[in-house]
Amino acid sequence: MWKSYVKLILFMPLIILALLLQDVQYLIIISLTSLIFTKIFSKNFKKTIIFLAKYLVFTVPMLLILWSLFSTFDNAIIATVKFSSLSIASFAMISCFRVQESFKLLSSIFPYKFAFIIVLCFRYLDVVKEDIGRINLIRKTRGFEDKGNFLKKIKAKIELIVPVFVDSLLKAEDIACALDVRCFGIYKKRTFWS
């Protein structure tokens, strides 16, 4: 348990500082330190880095362009660095916690039922992601092609929403049943075994 508190104590100041500071060099130092912490604590450091790189490649140019439309370029740079260091620090923190660990930590702050909702959300994001991939494949077998201009592509993505939602709702019923069967929530407290 103390280990997760250590992680929290190390990462929280970084995130708060990233929120407060305005200087580019300090912000870069913050994101580097959070990456070092990830290297120490995280089990799959490589995966985190790849994810972050993908994420930043998309967001950084977009922020730079949008911000410089409404303000000067200098401001745009500061805003972008601030945003990216903030997201690096928070993603790094999330990647350092394992599911069971974060459940334990969250339920020491919130009621455990509420904490479990958050944990379950993160777990089922993966499932939904898999479902989307599969639906996309199925559409291709029906002769659908992922070509055309930007608008058409977005329209094609919207078509996916209904099947994904319906299936997730049906799954939710099963999850509710599984939770009930395991007596989840019949007492106000629960033990955390690990």
Interface contacts to another protein, rule CB under 8 A? 98-100, 120, 123, 131, 134-135, 137-145, 159, 162-163, 166-167, 170-171, 173-187, 189-194
Helix, coil or strand: residue 131: helix
* Least distance CB 32 / another protein (angstroms): 30
To another protein, the closest distance from the beta carbon of 131 in angstroms equals 7
Q: How far is the CB of 137 from another protein (least distance, A)?
A: 5
Closer residue to another protein, CB minimum distance, 25 or 173: 173
Distance CA 42, CA 29 (A): 19
Least separation in angstroms between residue 174's CB and another protein is 4
Nearer to another protein, 40 or 175 (CB): 175
Q: Which is nearer to another protein, 25 or 191 (CB)?
A: 191
Helices marked H in the chain: 2-20, 24-41, 45-70, 73-96, 99-109, 112-141, 150-181
Where does residue 10 rank: exposed (0-12), middle (13-18), buried (19+ CB within 10 A)?
A: middle
- Between 109 and 126, name the residue whose CB sits nearer to another protein: 126
Which of 125, 108, 121, 67 lies closest to 190, judged by CA?
Answer: 108
